[in-house]
Amino acid sequence: MSAGQPGGGSIVRRMLLGAQLRRLRESRGITREEAAYLIRASESKISRMELGRVSFKERDVADLLTLYGVAEEAQRQPLLGLVREANAAGWWHGYSEAMPSWFQTYVGLEESAALIRTFEVQFVHGLLQTEEYTRAVVRLGHPDAPESSVEKRVGLRLERQKLLVSERAPRFVSVMDEGALRRSFGGREVMRGQVRHLLDTAEAENIDVRVLPFTTGGHAAGGGAFTLLGFPDSDLPDLVYLEQLTGALYVDKPDDVREYTKAMGILDGAALTPAQSLDWLREFQREL
């Protein structure tokens, strides 16, 4: 897997390495407690390593491979090389002061996904926002932030958007509640530009923009916005990202992910089709 393909990001490589270490440990019948003792760590750290949620030390991985019976250099070196790749800093680290650490994890996962499906109730999704709309949203959320901080956050969002037109562009499906479009940010001209941008963006083959109109009544996602991330490597499970005011949840339990996948399927069925959504946006643009 090359770094230029979906799934090539450092965070996903950490997840892949963790999954392989878990399989090796389980195949030898070794407990997390026994593995932790070898590298002078806690059982919970082994768990976090196997989930790809912490960085790796090459010495620790080398010791674990020995414990797991991986002695041949031909088997060890690819995994040790993955340690170095997994610890490499992503482009988003240059924006670390503009985003909390929990969001850095999301950006790394987003960068590596092959399929992104989102449901939004409050805003147009960040990957589809215009610069002016983004600036209005950032200023509302951070009213006391200096101008330099606002512009750094805007720059981060614009940089993220390059993913959708890159060689590694994922399939992106954005279902938006009608309220996310009717709620104005930045005034009428900004909203006109935002709707025009949605119409232009939706022409791309890898992007579906879907509108869930008020006329559908209630819907399956009463809990609010969420994002489903799918990865090209079969070793990586789908994840659900739930953003909160001061943090985020990353849901990876298969039963929970299935419930969100089911809810997204219901939303897909209730929303206007891509063609109908474009017609709705054109009519809405005339209203603005």
pLDDT tens, position by position, 58-117: 999 999 999 999 999 999 999 998 898 888 877 888 888 888 888 888 998 898 899 999
* DSSP string for residues in 179-241: HHHHS-SS-HHHHHHHHHHHHHHTTSTTEEEEEE-GGG-S-S-TT--EEEEE-SSTTS--EEE
Q: What is the pLDDT of residue 38?
A: 93
Residue spans of the chain under pLDDT 70: 1-9, 220-222
What pLDDT shows up at residue 46?
95
pLDDT given for residue 9 in this prediction = 66
Beta strands in the chain, from DSSP E residues, in sequence order = 115-120, 171-177, 207-212, 226-230, 239-243, 248-251
Per-residue pLDDT at 82:
86
Q: Residues of CATH 1.10.260.40 domain(s) within the chain?
A: 10-86
pTM, to two decimals: 0.83
What is the per-residue pLDDT for 94?
Answer: 85
At 146 the pLDDT is 94
Per-residue confidence (pLDDT) for residue 262, from 0 to 100: 95
Residue range 99-287, CATH number: 3.30.870
Range list for CATH 3.30.870 in the chain? 99-287
Question: Residue 281's pLDDT is what?
Answer: 97
Are 123 and 138 in contact by the 8 Å Cβ rule? The answer is no
Q: What is the CATH number of domain 10-86?
A: 1.10.260.40
